[in-house]
Structure 1
């Protein structure tokens, strides 16, 4: 359910755009939809992730500029700004507390060597930088409609692909069950 709530404002944005072909109107709907998303998240879980707050601030700022000035270019910059802010946060995170941001998010579920955590964190930095650059390329070289579709489907697809590649990388570094069985002298069938 939480993932659905995360994508609801952008889905509403795309739906309104597809119905009207008006990016200013779609942005005018996106702003309150994002506010409602954050308020609902707070009401339901009594916690709002920093990502949602950053996104809300940029939607209000850049979306507001889009609506007030009637210029869709402002909202088109939001994905790039969000992705590049995340790249900076991931890049600088080891300087604050010694752990990478990805390690802080995943270490409760995974035990990995420090070097693997750092490579994984760097991969996210590169991913966020690339996503920001790809967003610029799409909105500068393709139609507005292509950008709107890329915003929902392309970015989501690239993110899922990156997470799958990350999973393959992580699988190489997870403890080997056979090694664990041999080192303990027990077999899972005996239990």
Structure 2
């Protein structure tokens, strides 16, 4: 049976809280540092090549982008800043906007944090995971670009991240390896997201 996620389509972008769609239904947010492979992961999970814009320029997503799977079920692409070349005041704006989104959004059911398997658990990743854990939301870490590693290296990286997540957050954060290129881990990620969306 085809995944409902393949029906995802662009709904809207919000640059401030007033622009957010009505707070109802189910939303799953995607976060990731610039160039972690977030857009590629979203595209692979939804079996679409151009759902999320894949950019060579880090920090392209400069608002909350909503992709609707069906009414009241959305995937939300969060701005991937890390080393994005954006003015400090814009970073501060995103920071407070995302902060309030996490604290107050009733529709938010889970968070996917996308990390490059070669550089996992940077400050931004930890901050996003902390947001989810503080709110009692489940979080799922995806270690992208796994095809850059051999099987043994993948397993080592996965175990190391899992240990660190476990000691920091207990069982609230799950983790997997993933590759948009080879489609490794796509079904596993999709199953987690579908569950949070109430399928």
The TM tier, using the shorter chain, reads: under 0.3
Greater share of strand: 2
Greater share of helix: 1
**Higher-RCO chain (CA-CA 8 Å, sequence separation at least 6):** 2
Q: Normalising by structure 2, report the TM-score.
A: 0.25
Specify the structure having the higher radius of gyration (Cα): 1
